[in-house]
Structure 1
């Protein structure tokens, strides 16, 4: 018996890296999986992952839908339902980078990265949400799960990635909005922040070196993408009680990430002057920064 027996999952960006690892583990845990990745000509990485899942005894179908396109998002959800009769889990994993310092970033760089990383989360979630709402209104018990993928850059910032940071920060808050809005229909929403070796991380030389596989074959590979997948699988289970959470995952380490919170404050029963703020506010900010 697997922890996801009877569940049907869609995983986007699942042709390689994190998404492929997620799809394979979900299948091993008993889920039937729609493996989504953009098809480019004869290259269809999702089909290769499907072959692996089927060879291991699992059930899966490939999808080449563009998850940034409105009708493709609808078709992706419909593929899950037509193939396996239902949809229980959506793992939003697709992402892209075009790093540039702000003064060199083009409009195309900004639009492409925010489209893939942020709109690419919104579109599938929108159509999955409509499906679950309709089932709930028809009287069905829904125990669905959406797992979104943010980034440490989106949480803590990183120079040269303004487009990616904005999109991934948006993903984190989008996940919380989904949790709040869809709870009434039996849908949970959580977000993971993976530290793993992928095509995106290997595109940055310093990060590629940091996340290189260990030379010792017997050593634990901290940055293996498969280390992140058990957290995704748990959040996808029908009985998981967690919603609105964000989790940083690195190797065997899992941190609960707190959302925006209020820090120390200035308070008085009168309007501040510019001069008074110049005296008081820098010290307040310095106190916060020194505590990091």
Structure 2
């Protein structure tokens, strides 16, 4: 018996890397899985079936809303239901802000933000109960020289909390995970060796996603969860910091005094996204 017995779940970007690990682990725990990616989905789905699991492939880009709708319909037609969605498909980009090209920025936002939104919107139309897991990153806290990627993952974090509130009435839980593992995307990361290693495999990240898809997490929603091989913690979304200063009116001198004392900020820490 597995914790996902009888459930039908969709994993995007599952042709390799983290998505492949999520799909394989879910299938090993009894889920019937739709494996989506622009390439590699057929091979992953076939290997899951060969190992005794249930899976079907879906090839297509989540940046197309029609494809996202088709993906959800594929799950419903193949397995008769949609119990879970893992929005894992994503791309990254690193570079100095002055070198970021518009086409690259657009591509990152289209895959990471719009792709997530298209799939989640399509799933929300049919899901009654179940779980949506969005994949974010520690970079959502603001990683230097990764503006587009950081912005896209910050958007998905906010999207997660919005969906969690809206879908609670339909008994759909929505959480986000920020994993750290050695994947093909690390080949593009100039700091890869400093933050990860080949021993930090995607398979080590998969149990958290399986848990969030399962009924054992029925009490967990609207959480942003940072997961490293040896660390697990919840990240707080932006909130009003204390103290809240009150005056009938503010002039420049009063504002300067406030930001020099009560509202003085700590120096930015570029390493905070690594935690």
TM-score tier, shorter chain, comes to over 0.9
Please give the TM-score of this superposition, normalised by the length of structure 2: 0.93
Give the CA deviation at 1:276: 1.8
Cα distance in 2 for partners of 1:258, 1:98 equals 25
Q: Alpha-carbon deviations, 1:138-197, whole Å to 9, x = none?
A: xxxx3210000111111x211211111111000001011110001111111000001111
Structure 1 runs of 4+ with >4 Å offset: 287-292
Cα distance in 1 for partners of 2:230, 2:149 equals 26
The correspondence for 1:203, drawn from 188, 199, 214, is 188
The correspondence for 1:272, drawn from 236, 247, 250, is 250
Q: How does 1:153-232 map to 2 (within 5 A)?
A: 153-154=139-140, 156-208=141-193, 210-213=195-198, 221=199, 223-232=200-209
Give the CA deviation at 1:289: 4.5
Aligned pair in 2 of structure 1 residues 285, 103: CA closer, same or farther (>3 Å)? farther
For structure 2, the 5+ residue unaligned runs are: none
Aligned residues of 2:27 and 2:54 also touching (Cα < 8 A): yes
Cα distance in 2 for partners of 1:148, 1:285 equals 33
Match of 2:32 in 1: 32
Aligned pair in 2 of structure 1 residues 290, 57: CA closer, same or farther (>3 Å)? closer
Q: Alpha-carbon deviations, 1:245-279, whole Å to 9, x = none?
A: 11000003210111112223352332121012112
Match of 1:144 in 2: 130
Aligned residues of 2:108 and 2:148 also touching (Cα < 8 A): yes
Aligned pair in 2 of structure 1 residues 202, 279: CA closer, same or farther (>3 Å)? same
Q: How does 1:71-90 map to 2 (within 5 A)?
A: 71-90=66-85
Match of 1:137 in 2: none
Aligned pair in 2 of structure 1 residues 205, 107: CA closer, same or farther (>3 Å)? closer
Aligned residues of 1:227 and 1:252 also touching (Cα < 8 A): no
Cα distance in 2 for partners of 1:210, 1:244 equals 27
Cα distance in 2 for partners of 1:21, 1:183 equals 28
2:173 aligns to what SS in structure 1? strand
